[in-house]
Structure 1
Amino acid sequence: MRNDRPGYQYRAKRDGTRVHYWNPQRAVKGASSALSIIRLPDDFTEEQICAECQRLTTQLRPEVRNAGNAPVFDGTISSLIKCYRHDKTSTLHGVKHSTRIRDYEPSLRILDKNVGDRDINALRASDFTRWFNGWRKKGKHRRATGAIKLLRLILSYGAGERLRGCKDARAILADMRFEQPAPRDVFMTYEQCLAIVKKSAELGCPSIGFVEAVKFETALRRIDVIGEWAPSEEGGPFKWTGLTAPRDLSRDMILSIKTSKTGAPVARDLKSYQLVVEALKAYSLPDIGPLVIDEDYGKPYWENRYATKFRTVRDAAGVPDNVWSMDTRAGAVSETVEATGSIEMASDLATHTTTKMTKKYSRGDRLETSRKIAEARNAKRK
């Protein structure tokens, strides 16, 4: 067993290559199970993997040793992040586990790694501008925006706790505006989703086709279809919650749930959807238990495992790599708007509370919608 890369683990892909990870529980004994596994860059060399595993482990050890003690604020951004993570009253502990892992933690790591040693009391507007521009130049505009968003949050937390320098730094940042990344204009089409459904069956992972078909036809979010693994509030073992049979899916194929984001009740007749019917030619629904199972492990999907397998199927199906799994929902909304000419119907399908949000999901040039509108106006004139 090698000891020069603590916490290292990998997953072999179908083509023989490896995906590299650093697992905090493997790296340091006693590390909380609530800590997320970090995926290392695919192009890392052996030396870079060792160096990064050692760096992350060295950073984690004192945190584990002091886990029972509240961190001490010494005026730096890094110490503020530690306080923010430790304090159960902070906003970090009020968001869903998936949101924390997907949005909060990556941005906090960027802040800690790049500017963690900076004295908050000495920060100026020019610092914030320089940091944002530097992160954005690396081709990570969305990540730069996310880091600034989390910086606002932790400074607000620090100001509320009356920590030195946080109130003034927050006031400076509050008056600043940063260029937002362009909204995504990509959406999955029916033809692309159908190709993914068929290819997933060929590759022996029809669960991917089933999930994407359900998302495209119902406009449900992925987490509402595959469920979620999350630790208990006490940081204990991860538990899965999600769609199960027969609780959420009746024998006559009526899916009834409450969405994870808004709690809105949703009922969908799966047998009325062409793509779902096609997907079910290869995917067998269980009579009891979780509806969606990862064929490789015989358990419900973890978020990162689903995303990885989706990309494999998408690429094999010939769908462009700029089409993401998240774009299936946008495809559902866009097709509904084009087919009906009604943003309200699309909003109802997507369970949006306002049509303003629906318009963000409705992509494309609206050509067919404009034609339907023109036909309706012409008919009225006659």
Structure 2
Amino acid sequence: MDRPQIKAPGLKFRPRSSGWAAYWLPSPEALRRGYPSGTVPLSHLIASPELLVDACQRLQNDMLAWLDGLRRNRNAFDGTIGSVLRLYQVHKESPFHGLKPGTRHPYVTYLRLLDAEIGDLRIDTLTALHVKRWHAGWSAGGARPAAGHMRLAILKSALTFCIVAGHSECRALRDDIREVRLPGPRARTLVATADQVRSAMKAAHAIKRPSLALAYAIQFETALRQWDVTGQWYPLNDPTLCSVVDGDRKWAGLEWRHVGEDGLLRYTPSKTRGSSGAEVLIDLSLCPMVLEEIARVPEVARIGPMIVSERSGLPWIDHDFRRSWRRVRELAGLPPELWSRDLRASAITEGRRGGAVNDDAAKVAGHTNSRITAEVYDRERLEAHRRFATARLGKRGSDGGGT
């Protein structure tokens, strides 16, 4: 018997010894998303083609309505990795919304990649072996361990939130990621010497970007994080208090008002602003590179953000700052592996090599959680910086300018 020539959405025919059997099948997308209805047998309608076509059309419409409901409801969990990633990004109580701008950008990038790579996979079909294979692929066989580590860390965060949101089926995969021992990126060990930082500052002036020279000096001499020195751009709906607004974004970071008439820099880093509230207190009289660069800035210009792009007249965008560092690094003849963010670690390293005790280094870096009165807190932190900076300057002098 020839195959029936009846056409309808989802209709499939399969040969049997007695003739042909008719079935309606949901689409591959519906199956991936967990559509509750599987294959529907319709052989009893083969003799009535109009009824067969009508049945297929009704089943198809039901499936499309179900899929459309998922597409419209971005908060729907359908058992796939993709729905986990979407929930993590759109749910109003997700920790994703609390990420700082500098952290959010790579998260968004990797979330998009994860969705494209494994978004269609159902969580209940995955095991630790899948995790190991993903990591090997993402890490390019060990050539790019940071990429694999970052993807798994973000996926784990998304799964953890979905568990909290009531989707317990995510727990097994999250626990597999925790338990599987996978190679991660090696800790960075490259540090810059004082001479190298001065070379970078000189190169910044050579390309007529004195703001970069001041930024490098502050990063290296105060040990502040790069995103505190240059500041961060936030969306307008972010709760962070900001002093600069530009279109649909706003900025917060180091400002001239943080430098007092007593020459002390008082600043609460963004990383501790929402937790311990620990403030760093820096005696700029012991930061000669910073003082040299500040002296270049006219008094009337010392208002608002300290680090402002010469091109835009606004605080630097992180991407532009990093791109400029690559140009400065090449011009100054610095190692291509050296990042601008390494200047903070270089500061701590110089201090420790100069004999600064670990407790002082921790206080200067803003890592303490001590809870004492404001007067004692300020005095302790100021003296810690003075001991730390003195150790650095002594080491710098004994080395003839280097570390």
- Regarding TM over 0.5, the answer is yes
Matched, 1:352 2:367: yes
- How far apart are 1:234 and its partner, in Å? 6.5
Q: What residue identity is the alignment partner of 1:299?
A: L
Alpha-carbon distance in structure 1 between the residues aligned to 2:364 and 2:314: 29
Matched, 1:261 2:271: yes
Deviations 1:87-120 (A, max 9, x none): 0111212222322224x22331231121111111
2:339 corresponds to which residue? 324
2:286 corresponds to which residue? 272
Counterpart of 2:229 (choices 208, 225, 244) is 225
Contact 1:207 1:295 in 2 (8 A): yes
Distance 1:213 1:68, change over 3 A: farther
Contact 1:254 1:268 in 2 (8 A): yes
Where do 5+ consecutive residues of structure 2 fail to align? 1-69, 240-246, 370-393, 396-403
1:311 corresponds to which residue? 326
2:192 corresponds to which residue? 188
Superposition pairs for residues 1-382 of structure 1, below 5 Å?
A: 69-102=73-106, 104-137=107-140, 139-163=143-167, 165-233=169-237, 237-245=248-256, 247-262=257-272, 263-280=277-294, 282-284=296-298, 286-353=301-368
Contact 2:233 2:317 in 1 (8 A): yes
Deviations 1:145-181 (A, max 9, x none): 1111111111122222233731232233332222222
Aligned residues: 291
Identity of aligned residues (%): 33
Distance 1:67 1:208, change over 3 A: farther
- How far apart are 1:339 and its partner, in Å? 0.9
Which segment drifts farther, 260-269 or 220-229? 260-269
Q: What residue identity is the alignment partner of 1:277?
A: L
SS class of match (1:165): helix
Alpha-carbon distance in structure 1 between the residues aligned to 2:162 and 2:303: 48
Contact 2:280 2:363 in 1 (8 A): no
Contact 2:211 2:308 in 1 (8 A): yes
Which segment drifts farther, 339-348 or 208-217? 339-348
Q: What residue identity is the alignment partner of 1:306?
A: F
Deviations 1:126-163 (A, max 9, x none): 10000001111263211211111111111122222233
- How far apart are 1:266 and its partner, in Å? 1.8
Q: What residue identity is the alignment partner of 2:139?
A: R
Distance 1:234 1:291, change over 3 A: closer
> Normalising by the residue count of structure 2, what TM-score does the alignment of the two structures yield?
0.66
SS class of match (1:321): coil
Deviations 1:183-221 (A, max 9, x none): 111111111101011111111001111111111111011
Distance 1:68 1:207, change over 3 A: farther
State the superposition RMSD in angstroms.
2.7
- How far apart are 1:67 and its partner, in Å? 10
Where do 5+ consecutive residues of structure 1 fail to align? 1-65, 355-367, 370-382
Runs of 4+ in 1 over 4 A off after TM superposition: 66-69, 281-285
> Normalising by the residue count of structure 1, what TM-score does the alignment of the two structures yield?
0.70
Q: What residue identity is the alignment partner of 1:266?
A: V
Which segment drifts farther, 220-229 or 126-135? 220-229
